[in-house]
Structure 1
């Protein structure tokens, strides 16, 4: 807008107008031009955001595997400490090698990320995810981008599993 104001001042001071009517017409045209240019910048914003997200989706995902339990049916996450960096794309591969079903529950973590997809078998889920259940022998893939830094709790919400030590920590840094 400063550029347009500057141009307006140049035009007004360099031209002499025979009457005030011409000056009013010029001001109206200036206001219309300024509004049209402003709308053009506003319309460009979603396109720019789409380009940024498109670039992010082209970024290769960093793969991390986490086991919910193990073959000895121990109630633990392996590893139980995960670290992510905000703004990077990750593929979390969840496996359950045990004979028990387990949950990957980390609601606050899930609220601080953008989920691209969760895929299990031939099913792909999109949107907000707060908890994943993995039955014995199951595998799932969670592709996401962390947005909010912080430290978040991870647990298996099956009664007795959290108390037995099936907990973890997820850290997101900037």
Structure 2
């Protein structure tokens, strides 16, 4: 009986530690939700935690659809189309994102400081995948989406944080105006 109690306790502690550790190897530990590629791969979004730039949006309250294309140019530049984004505080946007390039790209919206921290982390762990609600990583030819509510006015940015991509031009301003 004592052995059974000890084994049960060890299993309970192990399960708790595994749950607390999240899924950093495959992302940042958020549960699946609104962002999926067309082939069904989840990119997380189930949590409703508020970030400075906003939060996962309600799919029934979309104000606007914005198409974003990620690509490389013949000159070797990497870019987003459109090159800059502007929204109103409180606006819920359905981003339809396409990787029209020949290599993986990602779309990450956040503060300049947070994107820079994330970029530095990506330099250490280039194969890191994301499941954050404010980002999506896509293989060539793949499509994805983000539903987002911009809750705070301010100057933010969007970028591809895969090592070298931001330096090759994959970033732009994202401004949220107050009502």
Please report the TM-score for the alignment, with normalisation by the length of structure 1: 0.52
Bigger relative CO (Cα 8 Å, ≥ 6 apart): 2
Q: Is the 8 A contact 1:85 1:146 kept in 2?
A: yes
Gaps of 5+ in 2: 1-57, 115-130
Q: 1:102 aligns with which of 91, 101, 105?
A: 105
Distance 1:161 1:98, change over 3 A: same
Indicate if the aligned counterparts of 1:75 and 1:166 stay in contact, CA closer than 8 A: yes
Cα distance in 1 between the residues matched to 2:158 and 2:105: 12
Count how many residue pairs are aligned between Structure 1 and Structure 2.
Answer: 103
In the alignment, structure 1 residue 134 sits paired with structure 2 residue 138: yes
Q: What is the CA RMSD across the aligned residues, in angstroms? A: 2.5
Q: Is the 8 A contact 1:86 1:172 kept in 2?
A: yes
Q: How does 1:1-174 map to 2 (within 5 A)?
A: 58-70=60-72, 72=74, 74-108=77-111, 129-174=133-178
Q: Deviations over 1:129-172 (max 9, x none)?
A: 24321111111111121101111122211111111111111111
User: What is the CA-CA distance between 1:105 and the residue it aligns to?
Assistant: 2.1
Residue-by-residue CA offset, 1:37-59 (whole Å, 9 max, x unaligned): xxxxxxxxxxxxxxxxxxx7644
Q: Which string of whole-angstrom CA distances, capped at 9 and with x for unpartnered residues, describes residues 60-117 of structure 1?
A: 43011011115757400111100111112211111101111011122338x9xxxxxx
1:152–1:171 CA contact under 8 A, matched in 2: yes
Contact 1:71 1:97 in 2 (8 A): no
Distance 1:153 1:130 in 2: 11
3-state DSSP class of the match of 1:76? strand
Structure 1: segments with no counterpart, 5+ residues: 1-55, 112-126
Sort the Cα spacing of 1:57 and 1:77 in 2 relative to 1 into closer, same or farther, 3 A.
Answer: closer
Specify the structure having the higher radius of gyration (Cα): 1
Greater per-residue helix proportion? 1
Q: Distance in 1 between matches of 2:84 and 2:148?
A: 17
